[in-house]
């Protein structure tokens, strides 16, 4: 059984994230979605809310693909999380060249820590390349419609949070 780890803060989960989850399911038998506890980013949603959001949105994607999906909060090093969940591959989504530069450094560091874990990059589909959780939150804060970027349930959660 091949296990992959797709890490992120998912604050909130976007269509771009869902696209990567759907496509990652075709590469692995089990996909662990690592929800990062990143206090430095000051997330809009609590860890519990982000985990619930990811479970609700990702579960049906895994069911459709025949892929087991597990949502796993983590606060340790990504490579340690990969070991903890038995992942042989880390899945990362790329939107632009700027993403690649950062991710390239991360791969180098992770390989130095444990070269048995591979990293696979999936390019975001063209219609999702501009989507970033940070921008979705900003659009919502300023009264814009985020329905093109997130599911109806996530849009509702965003609007509720901003009341």
Alpha-carbon distance 55 to 27, whole Å? 19
Cα distance between residue 88 and residue 119, in whole Å: 9
30 pairs with which residues across the strands? 3, 68
Distance of alpha carbon 61 from alpha carbon 155, whole angstroms: 18
Q: Would you name the residues annotated as active-site residues?
A: 17, 41, 95, 133
Sign of the alpha-carbon torsion through 114, 120, 121, 122: negative
- How many Å apart are CA 34 and CA 40, to the nearest integer? 17
- Two structure tokens written together for 126: 């063209």
CA–CA separation, 50 vs 124, rounded Å? 21
């Amino acid at each position: 059984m091949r296990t992959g780890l797709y890490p992120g803060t998912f604050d909130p989960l976007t269509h771009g994230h869902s696209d990567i989850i759907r496509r990652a399911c075709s590469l692995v038998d089990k996909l662990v979605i690592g929800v990062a506890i990143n206090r430095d980013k000051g997330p809009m949603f609590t860890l519990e809310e982000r985990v619930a959001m990811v479970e609700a949105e990702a579960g049906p994607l895994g069911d459709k693909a025949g892929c087991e999906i597990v949502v796993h909060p983590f606060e340790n090093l990504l490579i340690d999380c990969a070991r903890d969940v038995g992942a042989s591959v880390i899945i990362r989504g790329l939107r632009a060249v700027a993403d690649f530069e950062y991710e390239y450094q991360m791969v180098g560091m992770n390989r130095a820590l444990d070269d048995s874990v591979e990293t696979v990059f999936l390019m975001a589909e063209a219609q999702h390349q501009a989507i970033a959780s940070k921008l979705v939150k900003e659009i919502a804060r300023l009264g814009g419609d985020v329905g093109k970027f997130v599911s109806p349930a996530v849009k509702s959660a965003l609007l509720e949070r901003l009341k």
